[in-house]
Amino acid sequence: MTITHRSSPFGRTLCAMITPFTEEGALNRAGAQELAAHLVAEGCDGLVLNGTTGESPTTTDTEKAELITAVREAVGDRVPLIAGVGTADTRHTTELALAAEKAGADAVLVVAPYYSRPPQDALAAHFHAVADAGGLPVLLYDIPGRTGTRIDPETILRLAEHPRIVGVKDCSYDLLGTQKVLARTDLAYYAGCDEHNLALYAVGAAGCISTVANAAPRHIAAVLDAFDAADTVRAARLQLRAIPLIDSMMSAGLPGTVTAKALLSRLGLPAGSVRAPLLPASPEVTAGLRARYEELTGS
């Protein structure tokens, strides 16, 4: 028996890719191409660029477009590219969405505007403005822990009526609310928190947008592979095996960007430092990350 899921229009195992920098702190174009090609070869069937893990708050508009162009050159049409374009400003977000389309993105990821904390009607107007402005599909990014504003399930239900709003990256930590939307729409939901990858997939999500996939893409994909093969016991076992690394990368008091770059550097993959105000992981934290990685992968 094969378990079927709703459409996964942008792939199933997506990586929220870091943005590699050079030793001088500039965009590492060649490094981004190398890392993107590696992630695709290791099982990622979609890449999210310029998101939270990609340090979008501290990269310039020019760097964002250059990253999309460089990665498109590296992976061609083998996998879809989703570009984070969300800002606190509707006009700026719309400009970034148009630039991402021109640079070769297949869809845009739009976070709720942060700091100003707009009410739900203003949120809906913001997302409609971005979706109306260009020709690319839109994924909503619900991460109230960072933005200070939840995209309420009722708002998402209304937004689902827009023909270009096609999915959600879900970091709401509201499993009930998510299931309410899944039950009433065809939106492609992607788990945005690695500890929820299997749980959301089991109730009909399209897949995951994973930070941990920067370091362990094959394992993240294997969890969903096992579920698709109706081996739910193996899927659960693989998910639980990943929890120590997920915990170390995502719940140890440091942003996933910091831990992902620290671990990738130890693995010999392009990463570079993080940009201020973030600080790099300490040697002790990095050693712990490598230990959890070796426990998971055996290497």
List pLDDT tens digits, range 262-282: 999 999 999 999 999 999 999
Average pLDDT of the segment spanning 178-203:
97
268 inside domain: no
Look at residues 283, 228, 289, 280 and name the one whose alpha carbon lies nearest to residue 255.
280
List pLDDT tens digits, range 132-177: 999 999 999 999 999 999 999 999 999 999 999 999 999 999 999 9
How does strand 81-84 pair with strand 46-49? parallel
Question: Binning pLDDT at 50, 70 and 90, where does residue 29 land?
Answer: very high
Is 141 one of the annotated active-site residues of the chain?
Answer: yes
Is 180 one of the annotated active-site residues of the chain?
Answer: no
292 inside domain: no
| Structural domain containing residue 201 | 13-229
Q: What is the tally of structural domains in the chain?
A: 1
Question: Binning pLDDT at 50, 70 and 90, where does residue 72 land?
Answer: very high
pLDDT at residue 290 tops 70: yes
- DSSP assignment of 38-105: HHHHTT-SEEEESSTTTTGGGS-HHHHHHHHHHHHHHHTTSS-EEEE---S-HHHHHHHHHHHHHHT-
pLDDT at residue 3 tops 80: no
44 inside domain: yes
In percent, how much of the chain has pLDDT > 90?
96
Average pLDDT of the segment spanning 43-67:
98
| Active-site choice (64, 169, 190, 293) | 169
86 inside domain: yes
168 inside domain: yes
Helix (H) or strand (E) holding 122: helix 120-133
* Rg (alpha carbons) of the chain, rounded to whole number: 18
65 inside domain: yes
* Mean pLDDT, rounded, of the chain: 96
List pLDDT tens digits, range 227-260: 999 999 999 999 999 999 999 999 878 999 999 9
| Active-site choice (64, 141, 201, 293) | 141
Report the C-alpha gap between 95 and 93 in whole angstroms.
5
CATH classification of the domain holding 109: 3.20.20.70
140 inside domain: yes
**Long-range Cβ contacts of 54-59 (<8 Å, 24+ apart):** 54/16, 54/17, 54/18, 54/19, 54/84, 54/257, 55/18, 55/19, 55/257, 55/274, 55/275, 55/278, 56/84, 56/86, 58/275, 58/276, 58/278, 59/19, 59/27, 59/275
pLDDT in the model for residue 8:
86
In percent, how much of the chain has pLDDT > 70?
98
Average pLDDT of the segment spanning 90-97:
98
100 inside domain: yes
Reduced to 3 states (helix: H, G, I; strand: E, B; else coil), residue 235 is helix
**Max Cα distance, the chain (Å):** 53
pLDDT at residue 1 tops 50: no
pLDDT in the model for residue 2:
43
Question: Binning pLDDT at 50, 70 and 90, where does residue 5 land?
Answer: low
